[in-house]
Structure 1
């Protein structure tokens, strides 16, 4: 029975953690995001703390505020990249000849109608497909509840504001206390499990750190390849498309498709090509070719380097874990699947090795 205690404790702790995560899912998400942000900002805070200005060191609270300001500056820069694009899209939409666009859309539909009427007796009269589409669109518009949408927008805005405040406070505390929470957690570990637990904590921190650095390297590489390739081929807003593709690539498997789709939509709309012709085909081929190079580089070089080397897991493991995360929590589950799996995997390995190697567990 004594041999089973560590395993029973681990199972009980896992069940308790799962129940807590269900009850306080929002808070858990805030803590995880804050831990990631604090990990990113900590090197900058430590560097600023080591500097002297006229013989005096800056108070830690000021170094944290400066680090937050740098982060906010990057976010503003990121959002600012999309403002000209959105503005141009609005101008394009306002100048569109909707009658001409409607004619171009309905022409192939009318051709299909004529073919079906000629091929299948009594299928309907001319215009039956277009009329049904009109009726469906009109019915959908009538069912839209504007007040419900506005209430949801207000609710979402309030939730985002609360999330920003909570994440900012937790991140500030994690940066200011400098490992106090970690030390308190370590103090709770019984002496019998101290060595095994410290080994697990050390390996988890190392692997997660390597994984975050790998993701950063992956984003920079994708941004570089996409921006250079699109710029050479003369695609407008190449930098904006590349930034979106690099961020979207954080979503495994679906990210590259989102990045390429966004690039095609932006390239087509800003190019002012709204009918299928050779010019449109060449433009789409240019954008797809760039993202094909991005995808090949990511699959052959970047992902094996990040997942296999930093996380030390087989590609098939990664594939199964990502889709399991997607089935449990959607896009957030896909992004968080690998770090969570890494933590669980290290804990189980360390527990098994500690149980088989240390005699104290067998007494």
Structure 2
């Protein structure tokens, strides 16, 4: 009888999990901007709190100014990126001619050996980058619009941020009332405090990783003598928001610039090699150690969560994977039924990495020393 109940319980848990994943997939256009708003609200809350407590400003005014400052910073970053791209686009004809001259012998040899027309590879010389952008603008915007409704996220998230910050005390009181039968107010206050701390630590870790990767990218490009080294270095770091794909996008442009401005193909190969090596360090050491440790997730779970959330929500899912998983860990840690899952998601203690043979040797040495003393 107990076995039957246990099987039924497992079946119900599995059904509940599948239902939850299905709902999360179907409601992604609603949930993604909502989660972004929660995380970004945590980011700007200290500013809002400062305005309200130190400057004694009205809550609505404080929130509005904080969101405006945040939006202005994001806008300034995109404007700087736009100016740099515009400068590179203005030199596109020069870069095109230089690249064509360097790979012309290779194209000629390819045309002789395979019969493939070189124009089919390089395209028409009259086709400028501006024209390519115009011809493909519809496809570019369709890609952005369908990648987890990114445009909708940018529109809805500031609105949700404003409402979250405005009604924060009201929402906390609602949580207390909704959980009064299953959790004491003191315990719920502790859980909410840990959730807030987790998000703050995640954002701090993410910014730290971007700075480290941006500096490493820039140093690598400076050593190779590539133009716009700091721009490409930190632009590649910014694209860490899109794991795996971002590094490919970030390395293509500096590799082409190196091919156009340097006298050897190896500079382009070097650019790709530098970005690839730094991406390897970031994915396997920097992010799991810095961001993963900041939010108390082990490296294995950090990588798996990024993969699974990317399958569920695409590119926005990659960005949200770690903070959402870390929040789930906090909830699991405070649930008797889910405590084992919280343990699985957390950092593994040193004893789980110990060598059994080495431990036995230590014990044997202790016994031998005790015998010698006796």
Paired residue for 1:38, among 38, 41, 52? 41
**Closer, same or farther in 2 for the Cα pair 1:238/1:70, shift >3 Å?**
farther
Structure 1 CA distance for aligned equivalents of residues 338 and 96 of structure 2: 72
Structure 1 CA distance for aligned equivalents of residues 253 and 118 of structure 2: 31
Q: CA deviation at 1:246?
A: 1.9
Q: Is the 8 A contact 1:250 1:335 kept in 2?
A: yes
Q: Is the 8 A contact 2:232 2:250 kept in 1?
A: yes
Q: Which residue of 1 aligns with 2:207?
A: 216
Q: Is the 8 A contact 1:227 1:238 kept in 2?
A: yes
Q: CA deviation at 1:323?
A: 2.2
Q: CA deviation at 1:327?
A: 2.9
Q: CA deviation at 1:228?
A: 5.2
Structure 2 CA distance for aligned equivalents of residues 67 and 29 of structure 1: 22
Q: Is the 8 A contact 1:226 1:291 kept in 2?
A: no
Unaligned runs of 5+ in 1: 117-127, 138-143, 357-363
Q: Is the 8 A contact 2:309 2:321 kept in 1?
A: yes
Q: Which residue of 2 aligns with 1:243?
A: 234
Q: Count the aligned residue pairs.
A: 324
Q: Which residue of 2 aligns with 1:47?
A: 50
TM-score of the aligned structures, taking structure 2 as reference length:
0.68
Q: Which residue of 2 aligns with 1:281?
A: 266
Q: Which residue of 1 aligns with 2:325?
A: 341
Q: Is the 8 A contact 1:248 1:256 kept in 2?
A: yes
Structure 2 CA distance for aligned equivalents of residues 183 and 10 of structure 1: 30
Structure 1 CA distance for aligned equivalents of residues 119 and 255 of structure 2: 30
Q: Which residue of 2 aligns with 1:183?
A: 173
Note if 1:328 corresponds to 2:331.
no
> What CA RMSD, in Å, does the superposition of the two structures yield over aligned residues?
4.4
The equivalences for 1:187-336 within 5 A come to: 187-194=177-184, 200-227=191-218, 230-231=221-222, 234-269=225-260, 271=261, 273=262, 277-278=263-264, 280-282=265-267, 285=270, 288-289=273-274, 292=277, 296=281, 299-307=284-292, 309-336=293-320
What secondary structure is seen at the aligned counterpart in 2 of 1:192? coil
The equivalences for 1:87-236 within 5 A come to: 87-95=86-94, 105=103, 107-112=105-110, 114-115=112-113, 128-130=115-117, 133=120, 150=138, 153=141, 163-194=153-184, 200-227=191-218, 230-231=221-222, 234-236=225-227
**Closer, same or farther in 2 for the Cα pair 1:311/1:60, shift >3 Å?**
closer
Q: Is the 8 A contact 1:211 1:311 kept in 2?
A: yes
Q: CA deviation at 1:31?
A: 0.8
What secondary structure is seen at the aligned counterpart in 1 of 2:226? coil
